[in-house]
Copies of this chain bind each other. A is one copy, B any other.
Amino acid sequence: MNLRDLGEDRLLSQLLPHLTLGKAVVAGPGDDCAVVAIRGLGELLVLKTDCVVEAVHFSRRTKPFDVGWKAMMRPLSDFAATSAVPQFVLVTVIAPERTDVRWMKGLYRGLQRASNRFDVSIVGGETSSTSGPIAVSIAAAGFVEKERWVSRRGGQPDDDLFVTGRLGGALKQRHLRFVPRIVESRWLTKNFSVHAMMDLSDGLGADLPRLARASRLGYTVDVESIPLTRGATINDAITEGEDYELLFAVSRRDSARLMQRWRKKFPRLPLTRIGSLNRISKIENRKLPRGYTHFQQPR
């Protein structure tokens, strides 16, 4: 069997549970970021790597600045998902020897502009040659207060599900220029009890089942309520991915206050309740509209 037939989720689930994790590891493989406790420190250390590969995540025609921006912002979006503050990154560039130095400088301008946006320091760089496509991998480290760390796992039955921004249509342009929702995420965990959260990178249709599965819950979604980018269809919003918006669960009794305070704090960024979590019930999941088979809870 090869990697395509197996798929990344199943591959990692086969490889990773066998790993011996130390007691310090609060969240390991399967969450947006790794979260570990450090002796003598009140905060948790948060680690994440993410890579973009030519012909997979960007094309030869993509501007190197945009490649750098996206490569940096993707892992920082995982920090937003964890409500953590990124501080330090290391950059690995795997590129053919024929790569033009100007391309590399453009890449680094994008990397630096993106990291500066969140006061993140690029503290190291490594390059390696390859005979194949260019790959840029970012390793990021940062911290989160013990009481503000959020994973995908903490969703409760009857929690309301929210998404920030609008979904769909990101592949046209926005996926190269997005700004991770770190400010919003930090505000959320400062003011509300966020039970579970993740960033939407593979599309709501792939990502929401991951959050629900991690929380051992089912869900219902009112697909008509999904906030759409102008010109995008519901199907685009569910399947395209690359939105880098936040999906999160809060107690139903906090919902009204959250919506009210959010509108004051972030008047230009929509916050939308799209559904709720529930105890797993095959009957409820059958009620989901046909055509969105991604939305069925596989158990």
The interface-forming segment of A85-93, A161-169, A276-284 is A85-93
Chain A interface size band reads 35 or more
Q: Is the CB of A116 within 8 A of B3?
A: no
Of listed A4, A14, A98, A126, residue having the most chain B CB within 10 A? A126
The interface-forming segment of A101-109, A221-229, A252-260, A261-269 is A101-109
Q: How far is the CA of A88 from the CA of B12 in the complex (A)?
A: 18
Q: Is the C-beta of A59 less than 8 angstroms from some C-beta in chain B?
A: no
Q: How far is the CB of A115 from chain B (nearest CB, A)?
A: 8
Scan A1-37; emit 1 where CB is below 8 A from any B CB, else 0: 1111010100110111011111011001101011010
Q: Please, which residues of chain B bring their CB within 8 A of the CB of A6?
A: 101
The residue in chain B whose Cβ has the minimal distance to the Cβ of A22 is B121
Q: How far is the CA of A43 from the CA of B39 in the complex (A)?
A: 10
Q: Is the C-beta of A231 less than 8 angstroms from some C-beta in chain B?
A: no
Q: Is the C-beta of A238 less than 8 angstroms from some C-beta in chain B?
A: no
Q: How far is the CA of A105 from the CA of B18 in the complex (A)?
A: 11
Q: Is the C-beta of A137 less than 8 angstroms from some C-beta in chain B?
A: yes
Name A49's contact: one of B12, B15, B96, B137 (CB within 8 Å).
B137
Q: Is the C-beta of A234 less than 8 angstroms from some C-beta in chain B?
A: no
8 residue pairs, one from A and one from B, having the closest CB atoms: A132-B132, A139-B139, A4-B97, A34-B123, A34-B124, A49-B90, A22-B121, A28-B123
